[in-house]
Amino acid sequence: MYKSLLLFLRIGVFSNLILFFLTLTYVNNGVDPFIMIPTQILLVVSAYRCLFPVNYASKAVILDSIFSSVFITRFVVTVVEVVYIYAFSQVIRIINADQFLIVDIFSWIMLAQVIVSQFFCWGAILIKYERLYFYEELGWFIIFLCNAIASAILFSLDLTSGHYTLLILNLIFGALYLPWQVFHLKSITNRINKDDNIKQQVFDLNSNKVFGELQKSFQERKLSFDQSDWGGVVGMMWMYGYWILIIPVWMFFIILTI
């Protein structure tokens, strides 16, 4: 069953590319480019990840290809995560229209935090210190908490129905995602506490170690369909939600509505 779900991720190649094509042909050309371009980047990268998924910690892949390597995937994901959170923060600023300073501050905190999270993720990969994944994911909790708080504040304004809809979606996502992310953080903590190999990892910025892990991020891949290599049920929910069902569709809806 788990193997089938991993293979079925490929449906996301088609769904994301269809949405990308619609951004070129169907969506109003007047959409803010700081929202449109991040959406297009997200859709293309999500299609890529559905075809060449990889787990950074275990280096598990379902296609033994250089395109499944940790380094290439993490490089493109670093770009997409920064730009799509910028787009989310831009939506907040557009709706706010300089009404509340605190709302703009929350929007910029979102962008600052996603950049910080990238450093944690790259640190976990390049110095092989997997505890840093916890702090990366904690960063995502902070990002969408800020998004939800800013959205709640904006309800006091006289807004268009489209803007109200976007704020409601922000709040619904926050209400569902934030408790789930707490559960996710607990699962990361449990994995760390139960894995003796992770416990023995040392925070070491030695250049030789960094260079060695960089090489491994290009070269090491493990063909695997074992759920323990992919984060189990939580990992599967994360992949389908992030790459196919929630974030791509949400971003596309934003450019139809904003």
| Domain housing 60 | 2-257
φ and ψ at 222, to 5 degrees? -125, 110
Overall number of domains in the chain? 1
> What's at 200, amino acid-wise?
Q
pLDDT tens sequence across 130-149: 899 999 999 999 999 999 99
User: 122: which residues sit within 8 A by CB, 6+ positions away?
Assistant: 74, 78
pLDDT digits (tens, 9 = 90+) for 95-114: 999 999 999 999 999 999 99
Residues 73-88 have pLDDT tens digits of: 999 999 999 999 999 9
Tokens 């790259």 belong to 122
What is the C-alpha to C-alpha distance for residues 20 and 40, in angstroms, rounded to an integer? Answer: 6
- Give 3-state DSSP helix, strand, coil % of the chain, rounded to 5: 75, 0, 20
Q: What is the pLDDT of residue 135?
A: 96
Of 37, 36, 35, 63, give the one whose Cα is nearest residue 49: 63
Query: How many CB atoms neighbour CB 27 within 10 A?
Result: 16
State mean pLDDT over 36-61.
96
